[in-house]
Chains A and B, each alone.
Chain A
Amino acid sequence: DAKTTQPTSMDCAEGRAANLPCNHSTISGNEYVYWYRQIHSQGPQYIIHGLKNNETNEMASLIITEDRKSSTLILPHATLRDTAVYYCIVRVYGDSSYKLIFGSGTRLLVRP
């Protein structure tokens, strides 16, 4: 019951910005959008999260549309080490707590 859709794969040139889109048209008003990434055979790494406002940290920026139905993760200057699968996740409330349901993610390839 993942609530997000992302392109299967993308690529960008090293040093350029990588813009990864995500659709979450069924998001509820109090549900956060999270982004994680996973490098091969490792656990996912937290990148950023947001609710309504755009967010920026040392890793990336998150742009959320006003209607909250989509968002874009921006890696401002992609490096080869940013090659990974990027997951856009809507945090949902389950039986006893909040939980992260992963979708299929976007495989980003950063080219030299």
Chain B
Amino acid sequence: GAVVSQHPSRVICKSGTSVKIECRSLDFQATTMFWYRQFPKQSLMLMATSNEGSKATYEQGVEKDKFLINHASLTLSTLTVTSAHPEDSSFYICSARGPAGQIEAFFGQGTRLTVV
């Protein structure tokens, strides 16, 4: 299957700082990428849909000014958690719709964010 890579896999940051997470499609072009958040022992919650070259579409209840998404190229989307607080600590996962002709989405390995 297609490969989606996230970086970093783990990050610890101080409260009040911002942190950027990258999501790359390594062997295909992804016009659409998705960002999810997962708290311990819970399911994945879709945060936003990111289309290349346009503004992201956020799910209800997700603060667009806090979770900045940029999808400037067909292989890279970034999620920036601004002014992070301990309650933002979570597992953040991206996915990308597969290459043309495939309708499944492929997921990155996730980024564990800890805000101290």
On A, residues with C-beta under 8 Å from B are: 2, 32, 34, 36, 38, 41-46, 49, 87, 91, 94-105
Chain A: interface secondary structure?
loop
Q: A95, B49: Cβ atoms under 8 Å?
A: yes
Quote the shortest CB–CB distance from B42 to chain A (angstroms).
8
Q: How many A-B residue pairs have CB under 8 A?
A: 62
Secondary structure of the B contact surface, majority rule: strand
B interface residue numbers (CB < 8 A to A): 1, 4, 6, 32, 34, 36, 43-46, 49, 51, 57, 91, 93, 95, 97, 103-110, 112
Which 4 A-B residue pairs are closest in the complex by CB-CB distance? A43-B107, A102-B44, A102-B43, A46-B104
A21 to B36, CA, bound (A): 25
Give the complex CA separation of A45 and B110 in angstroms.
12
